[in-house]
């Protein structure tokens, strides 16, 4: 089969990671139906052959003007596509797009004309923001982790850094591997500009942002790392719930223990 991945082992490795993560999201119950989105900035793999590839779709508006994305390439999960299908066949359930000169429109170039995720404006706005800040993050992930979403149905966890501190205190790894913690965005309509803008604001201080009563949005160098950040946070939520189910409020690591760990691991917070 003709595919953009043929003879491009480095690009294929990145797309295989997307497929692997999509499988984990399904197995964890975080990706019901078409839930969740993934976009990956693959511009570094766009050789002359990719740059010469013709459009296989009409020119489509992004819905935003994103000056840092001119000529960039992204792999995007397809709209209405299932993560469990993407896990088996990423190029039939997602596509590669090229951002055009006007920074406000795109075309699909490979492998099939699969329309990108409904959250494309917010995902691309985030990539535009990351490049503008000089951050070397290439992956963005939106998913619906059950226990973390459940926590957002209680306002006591929605105040700044309350959930972060609680989750960090459940097990040392969570602070070590999600060192910037969990940002919070109060409920907003899915796919809205308001949701995208609020998310970008939180990404100043956090790599993982909680969308109240909806899901998380995470960014990192690659999709595996973005998934790992969400996974360690959700693991902490599970430990918290397990303790509550045993009939007690968990003690949590002390502030002194967490400070000691931050110093030993040279963590930013």
> Residues 127-166 vs ligand 2HA: string with x where CB under 6 A?
---------------x------------------------
Q: Contacts with ligand 2HA in 165-204 (CB under 6 A)? A: 190
Task: Tell me the closest approach of the beta carbon of residue 143 to Zn ion, in angstroms.
Answer: 8
In the sheet with 73-77, reading across from the earlier edge strand, the strands are 60-61, 105-110, 94-99, 73-77, 37-41, 139-143, 215-220, 208-211, 182-185
Task: Tell me the closest approach of the beta carbon of residue 143 to ligand 2HA, in angstroms.
Answer: 8
Place of tokens 């109240």: 212
Residue 71 lies near ligand 2HA (rule: CB under 6 A): no
> Residues 83-112 vs ligand 2HA: string with x where CB under 6 A?
------------------------------
Residue 119 annotated as catalytic: yes
Task: Tell me the closest approach of the beta carbon of residue 210 to ligand 2HA, in angstroms.
Answer: 13
Residue 145 lies near Zn ion (rule: CB under 5 A): no
Q: Quick one: how far is CA 155 from the chain centroid?
A: 24
Of all residues in this chain, which one has the CB nearest to ligand 2HA in the complex?
190
Of all residues in this chain, which one has the CB nearest to Zn ion in the complex?
215
Identified catalytic residue from 119, 147, 212, 260: 119
Residue 215 lies near Zn ion (rule: CB under 5 A): yes
- Residue 67 near which of Zn ion, ligand 2HA, none (CB within 5-8 Å, type-dependent): none
- Residue 57 near which of ligand 2HA, Zn ion, none (CB within 5-8 Å, type-dependent): none
> Residues 17-46 vs ligand 2HA: string with x where CB under 6 A?
-----------------xxxx---------
3-state SS record for the chain: CCCCCCCCHHHHHHHHHHHHHHHHHHHCCCCCCCCCEEEEECHHHCCHHHHCCCCCCCCEECCCCCHHHCCCEEEEEECCCCHHHHHHCCCCCEEEEEECCCCCEEEEEECCCCCECCCHHHHHHHHHHHHHCCCCCCEEEEECCHHHHHHCCCHHHCCCCHHHHHHHCCCHHHHHHCCCCEEEECCCCCCCHHHHHHHHHHHCCCCEEEECCCEEEEEECCHHHHHHHHHHHHHHHHHHHHHHHCCCCCCCCCHHHHHHHHHHCCCCC
Cα Dmax for the chain: 62
Pick between residue 118 and residue 262 the one whose CB is nearest to ligand 2HA: 118
Pick between residue 34 and residue 164 the one whose CB is nearest to ligand 2HA: 34
Task: Tell me the closest approach of the beta carbon of residue 145 to ligand 2HA, in angstroms.
Answer: 12
Residue ranges that bind ligand 2HA, judged by CB under 6 A: 34-37, 117-119, 142, 190
The catalytic residues are 119
Residue ranges that bind Zn ion, judged by CB under 5 A: 215
């Amino acid at each position: 089969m003709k595919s953009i991945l043929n003879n491009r082992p480095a690009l294929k490795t990145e797309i295989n990671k997307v497929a692997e993560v999509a499988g984990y999201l399904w197995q964890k119950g975080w990706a019901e139906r078409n839930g969740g989105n993934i976009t990956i900035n693959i511009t570094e793999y766009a050789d002359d052959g990719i740059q010469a590839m013709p459009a296989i779709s009409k020119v489509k508006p992004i819905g935003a003007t994103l000056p840092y994305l001119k000529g960039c390439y992204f792999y995007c999960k397809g709209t209405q596509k299932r993560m469990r299908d993407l896990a088996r066949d990423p190029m039939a359930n997602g596509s590669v797009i090229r951002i055009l000169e006007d920074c406000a429109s795109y075309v699909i170039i490979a492998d099939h004309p699969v329309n990108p995720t409904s959250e494309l404006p917010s995902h691309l706005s985030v990539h535009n923001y990351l490049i503008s800040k000089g951050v070397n993050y290439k992956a963005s992930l939106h998913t619906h982790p059950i226990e973390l979403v459940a926590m957002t149905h209680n306002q006591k966890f929605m105040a700044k850094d309350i959930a972060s501190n609680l989750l960090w205190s459940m097990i040392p790894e969570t602070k070590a591997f999600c060192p910037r913690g969990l940002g919070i965005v109060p409920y907003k309509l899915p796919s809205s500009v308001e949701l995208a803008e609020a998310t970008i604001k939180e990404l100043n201080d956090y790599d993982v942002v909680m969308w109240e009563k909806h899901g998380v949005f995470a960014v990192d160098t690659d999709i595996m790392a973005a998934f790992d950040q969400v996974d360690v946070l959700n693991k902490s939520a599970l430990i918290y719930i397990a303790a509550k189910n045993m009939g007690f409020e968990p003690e949590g690591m002390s502030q002194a223990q967490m400070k000691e760990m931050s110093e030993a691991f040279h963590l930013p917070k």
